[in-house]
Structure 1
Amino acid sequence: MPQRSSRWVPGNHFELLENGEEFFPRVFDAIASARHEVMLETFILWEDKIGQALHTAMLTAAQRGVQVHALVDGFGSAGLSRQFVGSLVEAGVQLRIFDPGRSILGQRTNLLRRMHRKIVVVDNEVGFIGGINYSADHVADFGPEAKQDYAVQVRGPIVAQLRNYTREAVLGRAPRWRPWPARASADTAGHVAPGAAQGWATAQPAHRGEADAIFVTRDNHHHTNDIERHYRVALRAARHRVVIANAYFFPGYRFIRDMRRAARRGVDVRLILQGQPDMAIVRTAASMLYDHLLQAGVRIYEYCDRPLHGKVALVDDEWATVGSSNLDPLSLSLNLEANVVIRDRAFNTHLMSRLSHLMEHSCKQVDVPAPSRWDGLRLLRSYAMFHLMRWFPTWAGWLPRHEPVIQLARPGDGDETGSTGGGPQGGDGKRNPDTGAMA
């Protein structure tokens, strides 16, 4: 397999999209304007008002002759009704399920090594990548559990890399790295994709801005630590500030060590984590690292307005990253993830302003604990957790591993009864706890 390039691709324009209110209209408008092709990957697609809106957008595009390919995860998007799936398939949408799993005694067994990416590419012209799934809990009117999250819209040459990679994935192939789109790629039946002969699929997108970018993915074969490596290189190069906002924070030993070293050499290192987590274990796991980080000078903020779902970071005045990867064992050692690394002063400045607003208005800063008789026990716990973390990549290799199946949906697939609200959410908009996952 060709090795992935880590060279910066110049000439891109990135726009930060905060929460579903900014993200969903942009994606649905792009699909509505599609002329040739829509490529979409998502971990979660629920049959609620957001999922129905995406359903309508894809169905309408397919009916007017656009090639629409979608890949959803079999764990995150379980429970889609036969009507929901069947109407897409009948309209010509190529819907595929990544590693669909069966329930045994009411428990699903396909928990590990999930397809966790969230990418959309339309006509090789505009792309979207980030952490936002297609579910109503990404918009504010969901209520107190609505998620705080981020994605980016991008135009420019890097879109070709997103399109090329995503096309390989949604067609059920092992994604291969190619710096620009292949010539007249074929679909699964061996036919040349409509529109390829006209050249739209082979044209390199024009320069649209001043941002350099690298598209970075994580898999379980050839790129097992690429996303973490980019984070760690940036931490080691940091000179005056680092801000990381991440929903599920429990990284490895080397990552924590690089954060501590940056703080100790005078870098302002800030960490924004969940103060109102969607799963209690999230805060418990992260808090076990607090002493170790605080003692080194890292400043920790807990976001308390609602659950934090973001996966973004910035370093100094130019470097930033947005994507699907959490900083926990699932994302760093098991799941299939995708981030974009951005080098652009204007984007970095805007992201910093939004994260500063979060820290000033919606977070509480975690203080260094006051001395107490429990200091020894607390520090022992922190020390033990810190050093145990160095082994989790090895443990991940012992966990069940198999070659995932990507199944093309056909009429009649889906849940026989469906649900009034669809998928992991019922019509009342409340989460079904059996389907909870780190999204």
Structure 2
Amino acid sequence: MRAGHQLHLLEGGGELFPAMVRAIERARHLVHVETYIFEFAGAALQVAEALERCALRGVTVRLVVDGIGTARLPQSWRERLERAGVQCRVYLPLGHLGLLIPSRWRRLHRKLCVVDGLQGFCGGINLIDDLDDVSLGRLERPRLDFALQVSGPLVADMLETMEQLWWRMQAVSRARQHEFRAAWEAWRAGWPALPLDHSPPGRKASPTAAALLLRDNLRHRHDIERAYLRSIARARHEILIANAYFIPGRKLHRALTLAAARGVRVRLLLHGKYEHFLQYHAARTAYRRLLEAGIEIHEYAPSALHAKVAVVDASWATVGSTNLDPLSLLMAREANVVTRDPAFARGLRQRLDHLLQTAGVRIEHEQLRLRPWRLRLFDRVAYAIMRAMLWLLGHRY
């Protein structure tokens, strides 16, 4: 971790989207956005319109969306963005065979935005209205999710990883068109030289230490998982995790149960709404063992939970796009910011504690035991399917 950062926690699109728009409106050189879902409707339209205005004034604007999360940009908006000069790319379009090709299970799940190399945004919030859900439809209450607005040295790391992916996508596209020389040039291409003085004028550098952690299918396969495991192993008092899709593997399950065994209070705030058969039912196979280990499980009741945050001992915290399930930890491109800043960690811990007490429904062991046999069978079937899929990909989890 390096010092010199300012971290501002944003809750939901209601806080993230206006902050992104303000930063985009001040852009002078480059705006680069990556997201899994971009829904051109509702509150997310303000971000699309800001990108359009930014490109029209001559700023380089790049947008990358995932080929499943945003399978198709609306034709009207694609044309508007192209006319404005926004460069749009789709990561791994499914094609005719879709998910029958296992390599296409590897998705772009991270949510990043960098403006001029000076301001960055990282978290779990997709560019979709807080009251819209692709699986649950229109929500009565806003979705619970978090992101960070960041300034400091790690913004350069965010920009570097985004630009590397951008030029690799360019190279692959050229190669598929048999333009091999252009593909080689795209692969080797650099990115615009940007100012990297992260200290606001007249203000001393912040002591806040933070780092950007990535998960990809090359050099950073296990970085985020290892960061979780290290922080859990060092916990002495409390572990708080809010995570949408929680299916812990052997290592994470063991780390949590060992922490509980040495007296650490472990509390989980998880997504309780039914969205997908596999994720919903496979997650519940872990509940019984976790409860037997003394770990508290709460399901978020008011609405959908999409958060991916954690706090350990009110001194270590992470905010990002990574679910604690095999899709995120083994296959998807993810990005998390981690920090050891006590003030930030205490603030996030206070928010999560409040949510657990006021919006979480605690799951008890007896409640699981009394679930209908049909649901318990679904749990086992979903878990078996998940393990079979991982076996096909050659993964142990």
The interval holding the TM-score normalised by the smaller chain is 0.7 to 0.9
- Out of 57, 63, 69, the position equivalent to 1:76 is 69
What is residue 55 of structure 1 aligned with on the other side? 48
In 1, the alpha carbon distance for the partners of 2:55 and 2:159 equals 18
Q: Which residue of 110, 128, 151 corresponds with 1:135?
A: 128
Aligned to 2:176: none
**What is residue 87 of structure 1 aligned with on the other side?**
80
Secondary structure in 2 matching 1:338 = strand
Contact persistence 2:282–2:380 (CA under 8 A): no
Query: Map of 1:353-372 to 2, 5 A cutoff?
Result: 353-369=350-366
Q: How does 1:316-327 map to 2 (within 5 A)?
A: 316-327=313-324
> How far apart in 2 are the matches of 1:231 and 1:256?
11
Q: CA deviation at 1:52?
A: 2.8
Cα distance change on mapping 1:316 and 1:80 into 2, 3 Å: same
Q: CA RMSD in A?
A: 3.5
1:299 equivalent in alignment to 2:292: no
Task: Output aligned runs, 1:18-417, within 5 Å.
Answer: 18-103=11-96, 112-137=105-130, 142-144=138-140, 146-172=142-168, 188=186, 196=193, 201=194, 203-206=196-199, 208-369=205-366, 395-397=392-394
Range moving further from structure 2, 206-215 or 9-18: 206-215
Shift of 1:28: 1.2
- 1:49-90 residue CA offsets vs partner (Å, 9 max, x unmatched): 244322211111011111111111111111212221122122
Q: TM-score, normalised by structure 1?
A: 0.76
Identity among equivalent pairs (%): 38
| TM-fit CA distance, 1:192 | 7.4
Contact 1:39/1:170, CA 8 A, preserved across alignment: no
Post-superposition CA distance 1:398-425 (Å, at most 9, x none):
79xxxxxxxxxxxxxxxxxxxxxxxxxx
Paired residues, number: 374
Take 2:190 and 2:162, find their aligned partners in 1: how far apart are those partners? 17
Going from structure 1 to structure 2, the CA distance change for 1:385 and 1:65 (only over 3 Å counts) comes to closer
1:220 Cα deviation after fit: 1.3
- In structure 1, C-alpha distance between the alignment counterparts of 2:351 and 2:124, rounded to whole Å: 16
Q: Is the 8 A contact 1:245 1:272 kept in 2?
A: yes
Q: Distance in 2 between matches of 1:86 and 1:360?
A: 47
Give the SS at the match of 1:350.
helix
**Any gaps of 5 or more consecutive residues in structure 2?**
171-184
1:162 aligned partner, one-letter code: M
CA contact 2:109–2:334 (8 Å) conserved in 1: yes
Cα deviation for residue 172 of structure 1 reads 3.0
Query: Residues 252 and 358 from structure 1, CA distance in 2 versus in 1: closer, same or farther, beyond 3 angstroms?
Result: same
Contact preservation (8 Å) 2:316, 2:345: yes
Which residue number in structure 2 is paired with residue 416 of structure 1? none
Higher relative CO (CA 8 A, sep ≥ 6), structure 1 or 2?
1
Asked if the contact 1:13/1:208 (under 8 Å) is kept, the reply is no
Is the contact made by 1:38 and 1:122 (CA closer than 8 Å) also made in structure 2?
yes
More helix by share: 2
